[in-house]
Amino acid sequence: MAEGETDEEYLDRRDAQYERLLSYEPTTIADYAHQPDHGFWGDREFERKFQEEHSKRAGNYLIAYPKVARLLRRGVVRCPTRGCFLADVFLFPLEPSGERTLALTNLTRGESRTSWVNWEYSDNWHVAPIYLPASCRHGSARLPLGWFEEIVATVEGWKHVLHTHEEVYARLPEELRRGKASRTFHPPAALWRPK
């Protein structure tokens, strides 16, 4: 809080900043993934809500522009029973360099959920979401955000500098190894709850 500011003034200022940042229309794809310096670092409620809405804006953009979505998509998650769509994982370019991963899941009731996977928080333990729910009429799963990052690493062939690709590949969990070529993945068996 700024000096001499009442709680109410603080919340008003916070709301105004939230509205201002989210009403800004990105002009490039990299803009969609850019994490602005919002000035409310340490306010967990603000950080959580801001990331959620910020990722939703990027998800809506991809839903509106399927051609861009195809370019940015790195993997699809499907249900193990009938192959229903459960989630997409995208890689957005960042300026001047780097990438940001976006996970988008589908729920039976026609909703979708989004989250940036690699997003900065003041306190990862208490603010960062750890999973996104996904479901179809055959079952449901809570998909860990870290797992989406592993999908991207698998598809992109990212590896630790000390390991060869073969070593990394041999060590991958079964469900990631199988999905690598087709870029289609199934939730880890331990997480899938059939109906």
Measured between alpha carbons, how far is 85 from 106 in angstroms, rounded to an integer? 7
Q: Which two tokens stand for residue 166?
A: 């073969």
Residues 104-143 that bind Zn ion (CB under 5 A): 136, 138
Q: Name which of 126 and 195 has its Cβ closer to Zn ion.
A: 195
Site string for Zn ion, 154-193 (x = CB under 5 A): ----------------------------------------
Q: Which of residues 82-101 bind Zn ion (CB under 5 A)?
A: 82, 84
**How many residues in total does the chain contain?**
195
CA dist., res. 130 & res. 121, Å (int): 13
Instruction: Give the pairing of strands 139-144 and 184-185.
Output: unpaired
Within 10 A of 78 (CB to CB), how many other CB atoms are there? Answer: 17
Which residue's structure tokens are 């009731």?
109
User: For residues 172 and 191, which CB has a smaller minimum distance to Zn ion in the complex?
Assistant: 191
- Least separation in angstroms between residue 35's CB and Zn ion is 34
Instruction: Tally Cβ neighbours within 10 Å of residue 164.
Output: 10
- C-alpha span between 144 and 117 (Å, rounded): 10
Window 39-58: residues binding Zn ion (CB under 5 A): none
- Residue among 117 and 134 whose Cβ is closer to Zn ion: 134
What residues from 66 to 85 belong to the interface with Zn ion (CB under 5 A)? 79, 81-82, 84
Nearer to Zn ion, 17 or 81 (CB): 81
Closest CB 50 distance from Zn ion, rounded Å? 33
The least distance separating Zn ion from the CB of residue 80, rounded to whole angstroms, comes to: 8
Residue 7 beta carbon to Zn ion: minimum distance, rounded to whole angstroms: 47
At 61, is the secondary structure helix, strand, or coil? helix
Q: How far apart are CA 115 and CA 131, in angstroms?
A: 9
Q: What share of the chain is helix, strand, coil (3-state, %, to 5)?
A: 40, 25, 35
Looking at the Cβ atoms of 164 and 184, the one nearer to Zn ion is: 184
CB 175, min distance to Zn ion, A: 16
- The footprint of Zn ion (CB under 5 A) covers 79, 81-82, 84, 136, 138
